[in-house]
Homo-oligomer: A and B are copies of this chain.
């Protein structure tokens, strides 16, 4: 059974409604596959859009950053934000320039973030942020000290006003163009991991761990 997020005037897709999705399962799967989000916020009327890592725990999205970061300082005030996550899946090549498109899956979340001050929730969020990045990594590394926790601001954005937008499949051309002698179709795009590059200062005798050596995202490598 899928749980639908209530649509609002601000999240409902009006122009291409069939591309809109509002169930949590779809939204979560997009969030969990992506590495970064783009955080939009307004300062003195000027919008800013800043890329950053993130993680999801249940129905909340967490971001973090230095307490000195401008983005973090402003968003921590509880101002209106928009967090957008985009996965680019392919280039859609039609017979006409006009009908070229992209296959993608995106999520837009509107709301206000709140500062995470509870030390246990803050630690859990940092664990989720590390695990989102490379599953299994948290148990391999040194955990944050109290000083590091203090230097890190963690922000929580409830995923309550949100929508996903998805385009998949073939190009859609005008009827009369299908007879054209032009190749049309989709060029799939994937984010793939290359060969791990050891830190120049790595102690000798330390092997690349399996979760890095065999890294895959959504079954892709």
Using CB atoms and an 8 Å cutoff, list the residues of chain A in contact with chain B. 10, 14-15, 35-36, 38-42, 45-51, 53, 66, 68-70, 80-84, 86, 88, 90-91, 93-98, 100, 102, 104, 106, 108, 110, 126-127, 130, 133-134, 137-138, 140-145, 148, 152, 170-171, 173, 177-203, 206-209, 212, 215
Partner among B15, B127, B196 whose Cβ is within 8 Å of the Cβ of A69: B15
4 smallest CB-CB distances across A and B, nearest first, come from: A188-B194, A40-B49, A40-B47, A49-B84
Task: A143 to B179: give the CA distance in the assembly, Å.
Answer: 15
A83 and chain B: residue at smallest CB distance: B49
Cross-chain pairs A/B with CB under 8 angstroms, 7 sampled: A36-B86, A48-B108, A51-B86, A170-B200, A183-B198, A185-B212, A187-B197
Which listed residue (B95, B145, B189) contacts A194, Cβ 8 A? B189
State how many angstroms separate the Cβ of A161 from the closest Cβ of chain B.
10
In whole angstroms, what is the CA distance A96 to B126 when docked?
Answer: 12
Bound CA–CA A41/B209 (angstroms): 43
